[in-house]
Structure 1
């Protein structure tokens, strides 16, 4: 007779949020590392309207960025990120164990520690969306 092994620990769910414009290997590596401490990785992808509020100009619209994120093996679910305040309700609604961001955001979300564990992971060196956009602009200007 086979014994059924029951899960003795609750599932660990991680949430991260971001724009994820011009998806690159830095995004891949960050998402892989963010998925490691959990059983499920939820990604809040900033909507076009929220990016307007943040003053970010995206190359790719929300529905394309969402589709790319949904295709990632390590991503369990993608939700629209529409406001800064939404993170608190997402932590409660999705019963999140960890809220995680890249370390360029260190300290910005410490106020969420009353609800969940907050961690900041190092970004991939030598790559950023901002730098990619600048290189693209420089090439366009010299062409």
Structure 2
């Protein structure tokens, strides 16, 4: 069995999230998803997510292509998460290309292209502009 691991915030769930999770799932037999904690999201992006982590985790877990979900507490623990979840493949968005290559000693590392013209940050910005 090939175990695939990926990570994300998955806030304001959109078609880009669906695409990356479906493509990640197609690379193996079991997909585990680390959903960024609220605190981790704040430290990365300087803002709280729109949906709290329990809701984001439930949304991701509800997808047929996702087998397992856990809270990602720290970017620095990716190696531990790979070992803990016995990942054969680590999947990241291509906006991270090269940044996780040092995990190739633990598993295969694959960078998938993001869905063009859709991003949570852009959606939030558009909503803010509409409110102004």
Instruction: Note whether the superposition's TM-score is higher than 0.5.
Output: yes
1:97 aligns with 2:85: no
TM superposition outliers: structure 1 runs of 4+ over 6 Å: none
d(CA) in 2 for partners of 1:57 and 1:48?
6
d(CA) in 2 for partners of 1:85 and 1:120?
18
User: Mind listing any 5+ residue stretches in structure 2 that lack a counterpart?
Assistant: none
Counterpart among 18, 21, 30 of residue 28 in structure 1: 18
d(CA) in 1 for partners of 2:41 and 2:120?
14
1:136 aligns with 2:120: no
TM-score norm. by structure 2 comes to 0.95
What is the aligned residue count?
131
d(CA) in 2 for partners of 1:46 and 1:89?
15
Report the Cα offset of residue 109 of structure 1: 0.8
1:88 aligns with 2:87: no
Report the Cα offset of residue 108 of structure 1: 1.3
Counterpart among 4, 13, 30 of residue 3 in structure 2: 13
State the structure with more CA Rg: 1
Q: Which has the higher helix share?
A: 2
1:68 aligns with 2:48: no
